[in-house]
Amino acid sequence: MAQAAEKTGKVKPGPKSASGKSTSGRSASGKPAGARSGAGKGLTLEQLQHAYHDMLLIRRFEEKAGQLYGMGLIGGFCHLYIGQEAVVVGMQMAVEEGDEVITSYRDHGHMLATGMEPRGVMAELTGRAGGYSRGKGGSMHMFSRERNFFGGHGIVGGQVSLGIGLAFSNKYRGSDRVSLTYFGEGASNQGQVFESFNLAALMKLPVVFIIENNKYGMGTSVDRASASRDLSQNGSPWGIPGMVVDGMDVGAVKAAGDIAVAHCRAGKGPYLLEVKTYRYRGHSMSDPAKYRTREEVQAMRSQHDCIEAARHQLEALGVTEAEFKAIDDAVKAVIQDAADFAQASPEPDPGELYTDVMLEG
Amino acid sequence: MATQILMPALSPTMTEGKLSRWLKKVGEPVKAGDIIAEIETDKATMEVEAVDEGVISSLLVPEGTEGVAVNTPIAELNGTGQVAAPATVPAAKAPAPAAAAPEPRPAAPAAVEPDKEWGATTPITVREALRDAMAAEMRRDKDVFLIGEEVAQYQGAYKISQGLLDEFGAERVIDTPITEHGFTGMAVGAALNGLRPIVEFMTFNFSMQAIDQIINSAAKTLYMSGGQMGCPIVFRGPNGAASRVGAQHSQCYASWYAHCPGLKVVAPWSAADAKGLLRAAIRDPNPVIFLENEILYGQTFDCPTDPDFILPIGRAKIERAGEHVTIVGFSISVGTAMKAAEILAEQGISAEVINLRSLRPLDIGTIVASVKKTNRLVTVEEGWPFAGIGAEIAMQIMENCFDYLDAPPVRVHGVDVPMPYAHNLEKLALPLPEWVVDAVRKIV
């Protein structure tokens, strides 16, 4: 078991890291950022089971969403998270109730990971009254005040300055809450992202910037879009410590998240994680993904899949086939229930067209 | 249990496609994620992945078939008894068009109620009124804070925030770097999380750097979240032309922001407007665009001294009663209209001057009531004419009281060019009282 965890449970060193140790967290001055070695080893059986369940839930949810899209029940843009599940599940294991989460339009996984109901998310995808936004937001625009999930944003990079605003409000109120602000490597080139790095560092805001580097901003590979070769160091001009993380390994993500969140909670300002991940599907449902080879995708799926890796670790810990089947069946039932609900829920009342434009006052 | 595989929709607009190639044969096992076919749409060739597990029992559509409609069964799987896709094609969705809901709008323009009487007044400048309003609201609610460039240590680029840093400290009066996009987004994020930011733009010209956050985040999130995420925030600063600062610093954004549902847009003229409306804007649970005017900052007006003085957003004010023509203005144009009314009075024409105060919501009821009395309308604004506030008011008057008009409405507006720098040219570009007099003389 220890070997399996070792194999998949380490934080990969950043390209610029000279140490070659299992963490590369360091500030702009090159000092270590308080990392601990062997980070991914720390998952207990219970945590690994939880992670496996949540990752599987997201994957099955997204497969079902893709299927409903194909049937014409989901319209418009629909960006699936398949392949990237370990990122949000690992990060969510590093935060506490009350910490805020905000992300881009590839957001279904984040919602499920924060504890939002699959029924409500799926019904929003089908544009029904039972959806989180009562059918008025869609795939890219869902929110939950209760779960501290702040969307769901469709303008690339827009959520990053909103995310530092969540952190600002925490600091203003003197709370120790931390804002997890997710964006893709494509968004990392947006001007307001750098403005946000500056503001967050200047004001020492408790925000973890999480770059989900899935290698392609729509069809443009990161090498063709960013002159920066180490996105984890994109915050270094502002002294924001950064770390490269293996995003196909939920234990590694959780370990890196622990470090980043503790840094923020201690009042030391922002932290940047570049999480290397991969999306198996196209950018959106209508993307034929001709900019990469089938072999590249297959290699990631067969050799680096986060759910398979967690499964192997659990097997090594003695989890039986019957136990896996119980988890799989439970997840499938939840997803089928969500899909049924999302089709049975009525379309919003026509009167909903005019509600929620303004608050009374 | 047999499962049908349906022709998938692979883009938001796809209704049919060509089944160009099968990658699985009858009898072959299929796992979720396996590529089973290639489909050509009008845009691209796409691969179809299996969602369910099983063995292909039949291929219902031969490869090469064109025009296969979305949701047509194309193959069958003999499943493993696991949860599978619905075996039937979903019925065509909601064929009956939903009855269009009536747009909620005031059925008839409401009768105008008089302003509440606030008692004693004292002369103060618009600048003092704005500062006093912010100070009063910051004392009242600790969630209110001011953020912007030079608002704290410099005391405000136009000295609107004079003294606020001393009273409220650096935690609540916050200097920012010159990064409108970033700090506006940050303030919107803070508002979504329940704080009540006042964002000062040094001038509204710079708000264009941040307009994505103002429209896409502040104005739309309440709707997109089904009513969960309100955004109580004020964006304020000088708007429109100042004096010889050139094209990039001399633009009116009234029509830009008033165009957008989800925003309130306020444009005060007098010190009382400034104080009463800014207090209301700060208390409002919605995003409010608060358009000030640099030329007005130093002008003095009588303002109520009552510490509770506040004005409702969405109510226009009749600044001068008259009989022969209705002149509608906002912000600095109210002053232009008032001067024109004086000149017209000397010529025997009695003009009614309406100070809009609020552009969204627009108090069309007050304008309609006035036009029904005077039967003539002139609008005044410093902004450009195309799709401007005057155009909107003229249209709404036609919709509400066309039969009362004795003449076509006339617009007085800034000249349709970027603002020139030269002293004489700038004067030629902005409405003067004489332009309003001429416009009135055309229709009275």
The answer for B11, left when phi > 0, alpha when psi is -120 to 50, beta otherwise, is beta
| pLDDT score of A21 more than 50 | no
- Give the one of B46, B181, B194 whose C-beta lies nearest to A195's C-beta: B181
User: Which ranges in A9-73 belong to alpha helices (H)?
Assistant: 45-70
Q: Which of these three, B304, B325, B340, is where a domain ends?
A: B304
The most distant pair of C-alpha atoms in chain A lies apart, rounded to whole Å, by: 62
**Are A166 and B222 inside 8 Å of each other by CB?**
no
Q: What is the mean pLDDT of residues A338-343?
A: 98
- Give the one of A142, A158, A198 whose C-beta lies nearest to B179's C-beta: A198
| pLDDT score of B215 more than 50 | yes
Range with lowest mean pLDDT among A43-47, A208-212, B72-76: B72-76
Shared-domain flag, residues B325 and B287: no
Q: Which of A105, A121, A161, A175 to mutate to test the interface with B (most CBs of B within 10 A)?
A: A161
Domain segments of chain A as ranges: 2-15+23-341
Q: Quick check: A219 contacting B, CB < 8 Å?
A: no
Judged by CB atoms within 8 Å, which residues 294-333 of A form the interface with B? 294, 301, 332-333
Q: Assign A87 a pLDDT band (cuts: 50, 70, 90).
A: very high
Shared-domain flag, residues B237 and B300: yes
Mean pLDDT over each residue of chain B, to the nearest integer: 91
Q: Assign A15 a pLDDT band (cuts: 50, 70, 90).
A: very low
Give residue B267's pLDDT.
98
Tell me how far CA of residue B139 lies from CA of A265, B132, B133, B167, B274, in angstroms: 29, 10, 10, 9, 18
Q: How far apart are the first and last CA of chain B?
A: 83
Q: What is the pLDDT of residues B1-58, one digit of tens each?
A: 678 888 888 877 888 889 989 999 899 988 777 788 888 887 777 878 777 788 999 9
CB-based burial of residue B25 (10 Å sphere; 0-12 exposed, 13-18 middle, 19+ buried)?
Answer: exposed
| pLDDT score of B197 more than 50 | yes
Give residue B77's pLDDT.
87
Contacts with A69 from chain B: Cβ below 8 Å: 8-9
Shared-domain flag, residues B197 and B324: no
Shared-domain flag, residues B287 and B343: no
Q: What is the mean pLDDT of residues A296-310?
A: 94
Judged by CB atoms within 8 Å, which residues 5-34 of B form the interface with A? 6, 8-12, 14, 32-33
Q: What is the mean pLDDT of residues B406-417?
A: 98
Active-site annotation holder among B53, B249, B382, B413: B249
Judged by CB atoms within 8 Å, which residues 64-83 of B form the interface with A? 70-71, 82-83
Q: Assign B101 a pLDDT band (cuts: 50, 70, 90).
A: low
**Annotation marks residue B259 as catalytic:** no
- Give the one of A72, A133, A336 whose C-beta lies nearest to B226's C-beta: A133
pTM listed for this prediction: 0.88
Q: What is the mean pLDDT of residues B142-170?
A: 97
- The rounded distance, in Å, linking the Cα atoms of B95 and B93 is 6
A179's enclosing H/E stretch is: strand A179-184
Q: Assign A10 a pLDDT band (cuts: 50, 70, 90).
A: very low
Q: Which of these three, B79, B105, B132, is where a domain ends?
A: B79
Shared-domain flag, residues B149 and B126: yes
**The three-state (H, E, C) secondary structure of chain B, written as one string:** CEEEEECCCCCCCCCEEEEEEECCCCCCEECCCCEEEEEECCCCEEEEECCCCEEEEEECCCCCEEEEECCCEEEEEEECCCCCCCCCCCCCCCCCCCCCCCCCCCCCCCCCCCCCCCCCEEEEEHHHHHHHHHHHHHHHCCCEEEEECCCCCCCCCCCCCCCHHHHHCCCCEEECCCCHHHHHHHHHHHHHCCCEEEEECCCHHHHHHHHHHHHHHHHCHHHHCCCCCCCCCEEEEECECCCCCCHHHCECCHHHHHCCCCCEEECCCCHHHHHHHHHHHHHCCCCEEEEECHHHCCCEEEEECCCCCCCCCCCCEEEECCCCEEEEECCHHHHHHHHHHHHHHHCCCCEEEEECCEEECCCHHHHHHHHHHHCCEEEECCCCCCCCHHHHHHHHHHHHHHHHCCCCCEEECCCCCCCCCCHHHHHHHCCCHHHHHHHHHHHC
Shared-domain flag, residues B300 and B180: yes
Q: What is the mean pLDDT of residues B123-143?
A: 98
**Are A347 and B94 inside 8 Å of each other by CB?**
yes
Q: Quick check: B287 contacting A, CB < 8 Å?
A: no
Mean pLDDT over each residue of chain A, to the nearest integer: 89
Give residue B41's pLDDT.
80
Q: Assign B114 a pLDDT band (cuts: 50, 70, 90).
A: low
Give residue A31's pLDDT.
35
Active-site annotation holder among B180, B292, B294, B352: B180
Q: Is residue B109 one of the residues assigned to a domain?
A: no
Q: Quick check: B295 contacting A, CB < 8 Å?
A: no
Q: Is residue B95 one of the residues assigned to a domain?
A: no
Total domains present in chain B: 3
Q: Quick check: B51 contacting A, CB < 8 Å?
A: yes
Please check whether residue A113 is in contact with residue A182, taking contact to mean a CB–CB distance below 8 angstroms.
no
Range with lowest mean pLDDT among A37-46, A79-88, B76-85, B245-254: B76-85
Domain A2-15+23-341 in CATH 3.10.450.50? The answer is: no
Give residue B105's pLDDT.
55
Give residue B95's pLDDT.
40
CATH number at residue B370: 3.40.50.920
Which among A29, A115, A91, A104 has a CA at the least distance from the CA of A260? A91
Q: What is the pLDDT of residues A141-200, one digit of tens each?
A: 999 999 999 999 999 999 999 999 999 999 999 999 999 999 999 999 999 999 999 999
- Give the one of A64, A163, A198 whose C-beta lies nearest to B177's C-beta: A198
In angstroms, the separation between the Cα of residue A272 and the nearest Cα of chain B is 17
Range with lowest mean pLDDT among A202-206, B45-49, B125-129: B45-49
Q: Quick check: B284 contacting A, CB < 8 Å?
A: yes
**Are B71 and A71 inside 8 Å of each other by CB?**
yes
Shared-domain flag, residues B299 and B333: no
**Are B90 and A355 inside 8 Å of each other by CB?**
no
Q: Is residue B128 one of the residues assigned to a domain?
A: yes
Q: Is residue B93 one of the residues assigned to a domain?
A: no
The label of the residue with tokens 């489909």 reads: B39
Pick B41 or A350 by higher pLDDT.
A350
Q: Is residue B366 one of the residues assigned to a domain?
A: yes
Report how many helices (DSSP H) and strands (DSSP E) chain A contains, helices first: 12, 8
Q: Is residue B204 one of the residues assigned to a domain?
A: yes
Q: Quick check: B216 contacting A, CB < 8 Å?
A: yes
In angstroms, the separation between the Cα of residue A24 and the nearest Cα of chain B is 28
Q: What is the mean pLDDT of residues B249-261?
A: 97
Structural domain of B418: 317-443
The label of the residue with tokens 């007044």 reads: B121
| pLDDT score of B79 more than 70 | no
| pLDDT score of B383 more than 50 | yes
Q: What is the pLDDT of residues A213-265, one digit of tens each?
A: 999 999 999 999 999 999 999 999 999 999 999 999 999 999 999 999 999 99
Shared-domain flag, residues B153 and B74: no
Give residue A28's pLDDT.
36
Shared-domain flag, residues B134 and B10: no
Shared-domain flag, residues B321 and B258: no
| pLDDT score of A288 more than 80 | yes
Contacts with B103 from chain A: Cβ below 8 Å: 354
- The rounded distance, in Å, linking the Cα atoms of B142 and A281 is 47
Contacts with B212 from chain A: Cβ below 8 Å: 155, 158
Q: What is the mean pLDDT of residues A34-52?
A: 70
Please check whether residue B371 is in contact with residue B405, taking contact to mean a CB–CB distance below 8 angstroms.
yes
**Annotation marks residue B180 as catalytic:** yes
The label of the residue with tokens 């900019």 reads: A291
Give residue B71's pLDDT.
87
Q: Quick check: A204 contacting B, CB < 8 Å?
A: no
Q: Which of these three, B304, B329, B357, is where a domain ends?
A: B304
Shared-domain flag, residues B376 and B300: no
Q: Quick check: A130 contacting B, CB < 8 Å?
A: no
Which amino acid belongs to residue B41?
A: T
Shared-domain flag, residues B199 and B241: yes
% of chain B surpassing 90 pLDDT: 77
In angstroms, the separation between the Cα of residue A13 and the nearest Cα of chain B is 31
Q: Assign B104 a pLDDT band (cuts: 50, 70, 90).
A: low
Q: Is residue B340 one of the residues assigned to a domain?
A: yes
- Count interface pairs A-B at CB distance under 8 A: 218
Give residue B80's pLDDT.
55
**Residue in A closest to B99 by C-alpha:** A350
Give residue B4's pLDDT.
85
Q: Is residue B238 one of the residues assigned to a domain?
A: yes
Judged by CB atoms within 8 Å, which residues 271-290 of A form the interface with B? 280, 285-286, 288, 290
Which amino acid belongs to residue A242?
A: G
- The rounded distance, in Å, linking the Cα atoms of A208 and A210 is 6
Q: Quick check: A350 contacting B, CB < 8 Å?
A: yes
- The rounded distance, in Å, linking the Cα atoms of B104 and B253 is 26
